[in-house]
Every structure is written in C-alpha cells, then in structure tokens.
C-alpha cells in the first residue's frame, strides 16, 4: 500500500529559496505566544537545513547532492519566514534569532538535531521530519493567523516533495542489499525514540489551538502513523520496540550535537557582529 498522495516512482522536484518578507506584511507584529510558536517551527527548519547542508559535495551521487541542497534551501526559506515573523514581537531580526541565541534558547525538537550519520540515517530522519511537516503545514494552512497560514500554504507543497524523496530512499535501502537493509533498520531504531516529542501537546499549543492559530500536535499523530505504517509495510519493516526519549527541545533542553552545530553555524556572525557582505 502506498501512502495517499505519494508517487514512489516520481521525480524529485525542488523550489528555490523563498524570501521571508513575502509572507509577513509590512508592520505586522506577532503576539508574544504566536511568536514563540513561530520560533519553535523556525528552529526546527533552520537546524535541519544546516544539517543537510553538510551533505553538499558529499552525497552518494551528483543527483543527490542537488536534491539535498535544494531541500536544504527550501527548509532555510521556511526558517527565514518563521523566524522573521517571530522577531516582529520584540524587534529582533531573523539573523539575530539564528546567530545570536545560545543553545538553551533554541526550541527545536530533538529529531532535527540528530547527526547525519550515514545516508540511511539522513534519509530516515528526513522521512520522519517531512511526514510530520506535511501534516503540520496542511493543518496550519487553515490558521487564523494570516502570516502562519501563508507560510504553511507554501511550505506544504515543498515538504510533500521532500517526503516523496525520503520514501523512495527508504524503499531503496530496505529492498537493496543486506547491508543497505541493515543500515535503514538501524537508522530507524536510532531515531524512533525522538518521534514522540513532535506530538506532545504543550500549554502553548493548547492555548493557540483553542484560538485556531496553531495545530494541536497530538492531532497530527494518526495521519503521521498512517503514512509511516504504509511505508514500513511496503518496505517490510517493523516499528522499533524502543522507549521514547526524554527529549525537551521545546524547553531548551537539547542533545549534545546541537552545541557543536551552533558553534559552527554562528562563528562568523559572532566573531564579526553586524558585518555585511
């Protein structure tokens, strides 16, 4: 069974980086709680974009170098829009939020900060991330907040392609050699404990969902599970029997790799504050 809307044999298509100011009206100012929610989502996209950037010129084939580069640019576009909107609450810019905050101030979920590992690890992470984002942005496109709705309406079209790409690679690994199958099974097992955090309801999301602004995370889980279960069934894979992690990224408690990633991502901006080029 193939998940609804997924073409397992289609080509991967990509969009160019979308400028953030197309979605945030001039003079718009996000409420404090809406800005915090936008920060959560922006941090998720920013950190995974940075992770995928490490694959540039290191992919298994030229087509994959291009595919992952474009996926990373799509995610960076989502991050720019969301962080720019988050910054309207207190006058910070998207660059302030990306480059000046410390590790404990980031609100990304643990899944997005997990190391790239081998290509199977990267594709398993991409499968879970893009499936989650597709459901999230599909719902957020109906948000009562115009900026969030506009960002989501654009993003959902892109993450659908990202999801298709990850599904194809998951099936390719699972149906390939004994070695490739072993690697995708190991990758899924390593990442599975981080899934639960994506669907935990928080006081912030409960309050925003009650106003029609946000999507309650737990409401996304059934659709996510349906897609993942369909992919696993076609690939003859099983859900790992592993406990959930104690992930606390939404509250600034992060896994070790995030600090190393931020140190590299932020070094130029911190060494030369206010520099332009």
- Look at residue 11 and tell me if it is in a domain: no
Q: What is d(CA 78, CA 46) in angstroms, rounded to the nearest whole number?
A: 8
Tokens of 99: 């480059």
- Look at residue 18 and tell me if it is in a domain: no
Residue 169 sits at the vertex; the CA angle it makes with 163 and 174, to the nearest 5 degrees, is: 125
User: Residue 38 is part of a domain; what is its CATH number?
Assistant: 1.20.1260.10
Number of folded domains that form the chain = 1
Q: What is d(CA 124, CA 195) in angstroms, rounded to the nearest whole number?
A: 12
What values do phi and psi take at 76, rounded to 5? -65, -35
Q: What is the sign of the dihedral through the CA atoms of 7, 11, 12 and 16?
A: negative
- Look at residue 7 and tell me if it is in a domain: no
- Look at residue 220 and tell me if it is in a domain: yes
Range of the domain at 92: 25-271
Selection from 15-24, 25-34, 117-126, 237-246 with the highest mean pLDDT: 117-126
- Look at residue 145 and tell me if it is in a domain: yes
Query: Using one digit for the tens of pLDDT, what is the confidence trace for 93-135?
Result: 999 999 999 999 999 999 999 999 999 999 999 999 999 999 9
Q: What is d(CA 256, CA 115) in angstroms, rounded to the nearest whole number?
A: 10
Return the beta strands (E) in the chain as ranges. Answer: none
- Look at residue 160 and tell me if it is in a domain: yes
- Look at residue 9 and tell me if it is in a domain: no
pLDDT at 163: 98
């Amino acid at each position: 069974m193939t998940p609804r809307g997924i073409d397992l044999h289609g080509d991967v298509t990509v969009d160019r980086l979308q400028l953030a100011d197309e979605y945030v009206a001039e003079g718009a100012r996000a409420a404090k709680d809406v800005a915090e929610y936008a920060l959560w989502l922006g941090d998720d996209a920013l950190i995974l974009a940075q992770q995928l950037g490490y694959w540039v010129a290191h992919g298994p084939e030229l087509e994959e170098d291009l595919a992952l580069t474009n996926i990373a640019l799509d995610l960076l576009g989502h991050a720019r829009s969301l962080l720019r909107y988050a910054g309207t609450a207190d006058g910070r810019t998207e660059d302030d939020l990306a480059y000046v905050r410390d590790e404990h101030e980031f609100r990304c979920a643990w899944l997005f900060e997990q190391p790239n590992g081998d290509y199977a690890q990267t594709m398993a992470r991409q499968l879970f991330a893009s499936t989650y984002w597709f459901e999230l942005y599909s719902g957020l496109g109906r948000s009562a907040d115009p900026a969030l709705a506009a960002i989501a309406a654009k993003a959902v079209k892109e993450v659908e392609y990202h999801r298709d790409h990850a599904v194809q690679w998951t099936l390719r690994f699972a149906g390939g050699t004994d070695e490739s199958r072993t690697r995708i099974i190991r990758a899924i097992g390593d990442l599975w404990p981080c899934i639960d955090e994506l669907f935990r309801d928080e006081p912030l999301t409960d309050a925003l969902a009650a106003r029609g602004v946000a999507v309650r995370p737990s409401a996304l889980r059934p659709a996510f599970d349906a897609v993942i279960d369909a992919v696993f069934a076609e690939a003859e894979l099983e859900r790992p029997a592993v406990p959930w992690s104690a992930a606390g990224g939404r509250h600034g408690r992060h896994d070790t790799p995030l600090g190393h990633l931020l140190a590299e991502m932020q070094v130029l901006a911190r060494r030369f504050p206010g520099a332009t080029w």
